[in-house]
């Protein structure tokens, strides 16, 4: 849990986050922790337009995180097979890559 709190979440390029899980399954803890991190004050403050939705089901389905980025990209993670840190790292690496692309575009325009 200490590693999860230390991971900074920035939702700058994220349009929406959909977290779907069945709370009665044994493999949902990491997905619920991911939801807690993404729905925190600092993460939400990084993009106030980002929509975070939770779909709680009682159907035994596996936990899934579906992230839609502002540029139309999509990241789908199956939480049953991942740790919270792995999910947060995947999200952050995508956001960092989008930051770099945006910086390159602004450099090309100004040059």
Mean per-residue pLDDT for 11-26? 94
The answer to whether the Cα torsion of 14, 102, 45, 33 is positive or negative is positive
In the chain, the number of structural domains is 1
Question: Is 56 within the bounds of a domain?
Answer: yes
pLDDT recorded at residue 56:
95
Question: CA 6 to CA 27: how far, in whole Å?
Answer: 22
Q: Look at residue 17 and tell me if it is in a domain.
A: yes
88: in domain:
yes
DSSP, collapsed to helix, strand or coil, labels residue 22 as coil
Q: Which CATH number does the domain housing residue 33 bear?
A: 3.40.30.10
**Residue 47 confidence (pLDDT):** 92
For residues 81-87, average pLDDT: 94
* pLDDT tens-digit map of 31-80: 999 999 999 999 999 999 999 999 999 998 999 999 999 999 999 999 99
- Rounded to a whole number of angstroms, the distance between the first and last alpha carbons of the chain is 45
- Residue span of the structural domain in which 93 resides: 8-110
CA distance 30 to 3: 12
Model pLDDT, residue 1? 47
**Domain assignment present for 66:** yes
Q: What is the Cα–Cα distance from 51 to 18, expressed in whole angstroms?
A: 8
Read off the pLDDT of each residue in 10-36 and give the average, rounded to a whole number. 94
Domain membership of residue 1 (yes or no) is no
The full length of the chain comes to 111
- Within a domain: 58: yes
What mean pLDDT is reported for the chain?
A: 89
Q: Is residue 2 part of a domain?
A: no
| Whole-number pLDDT of residue 7 | 64
Report yes or no on 81 lying in a domain: yes
Q: Beta strands 74-78 and 51-56: pairing type?
A: unpaired
Helix (H, G, I), strand (E, B) or coil at 7: coil
């Amino acid at each position: 849990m200490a590693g999860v709190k230390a991971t900074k979440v920035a939702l700058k390029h994220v349009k929406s986050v959909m977290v779907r899980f069945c709370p009665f399954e044994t493999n949902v803890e990491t997905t619920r922790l991911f939801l807690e991190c993404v729905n925190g004050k600092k993460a939400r403050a990084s993009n106030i337009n980002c929509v975070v939705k939770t779909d709680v089901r009682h159907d035994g389905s596996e936990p899934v995180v579906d992230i839609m980025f502002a540029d139309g990209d999509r990241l789908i993670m199956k939480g049953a097979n991942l740790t919270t840190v792995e999910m947060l790292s995947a999200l952050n690496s995508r956001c960092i890559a989008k930051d770099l692309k945006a910086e390159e575009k602004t450099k090309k325009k100004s040059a």
